[in-house]
Amino acid sequence: MRLGVLGRAAILALLAGGLPACSRVHARTEPAGPALDIPVPPPRVVVPAASEPIVVAAPPVEEVPAPPPPPSPARAAAPRTGKPAPAPPVSTKPPADTGTPPRSLQTTVNLAEAEQQVRSSLARAAQDLGRIDYRTLGAEARAQYDIARRFISQAEGAMKDRNVVFALTLAEKAETLASLLLDQ
């Protein structure tokens, strides 16, 4: 590669300009304070290796007196004969069927009323979402629309599972989101 006269001159100028920057090695700063006094290390103790094995005697073990036995409860029952008492007989028959199905746990007092609230909230949320044109929504509004749709489908799933309280919560959230999106 051949450099022209101007190229060589430019390289020499760059090198010459960079040399004064490297001429100073130390920064101009004041020392922060007096030098720290470093303590002298302690003397080393070197133990010569013993030719005989080192035997360390174990400290004597003190005997701890045994605790007194717990007092036996006073019984006025029959004297023991050495045989254990017979166990009560175990029934192998299944329990008798009473004809009534087992009771299920209900968290609401009026289940029909709660189901009606869920259905009406879901209907209002679906109606509000039906009035909204999805194509005209911005990115955040589309995300809120999708969340409201998911709340509706989750509430319907909870109704199938007979979880009315959870379905009511989801339906109310879907209704709130749909009404906020409709107001925008």
* Residues 130-164 pLDDT 10s: 999 999 999 999 999 999 999 999 999 999 998 99
The neighbour count for residue 165, using CB atoms within 10 Å, is 13
- The pLDDT score that the predictor gives to residue 93 is 63
- The pLDDT score that the predictor gives to residue 30 is 75
Distance CA 166, CA 177 (A): 17
Distance CA 177, CA 28 (A): 65
Residue 87 inside a domain? The answer is no
Helix, strand, coil % (nearest 5) of the chain? 45, 0, 55
Residue 153 lies in domain:
111-183
Distance CA 81, CA 56 (A): 56
Residue 48 inside a domain? The answer is no
pTM of the prediction?
Answer: 0.42
Residue 155 inside a domain? The answer is yes
Residue 129 inside a domain? The answer is yes
- The pLDDT score that the predictor gives to residue 146 is 95
Residue 142 inside a domain? The answer is yes
Q: Which two tokens stand for residue 168?
A: 């009511």
- The pLDDT score that the predictor gives to residue 81 is 61
- The pLDDT score that the predictor gives to residue 120 is 94
Average pLDDT over residues 169-177: 94
pLDDT tens digit sequence for 61-83: 777 777 777 776 665 555 556 66
Domain count, the chain: 1
pLDDT band at 37 (very low <50, low <70, confident <90, very high): confident
Residue 95 inside a domain? The answer is no
User: If you average pLDDT over every residue of the chain, what do you get?
Assistant: 78
Residue 178 inside a domain? The answer is yes
pLDDT > 90 in the chain, percent: 32
- The pLDDT score that the predictor gives to residue 52 is 67
Q: Is 128 left (phi over 0), alpha (psi -120 to 50) or beta?
A: alpha
Residue 70 inside a domain? The answer is no
- The pLDDT score that the predictor gives to residue 21 is 59
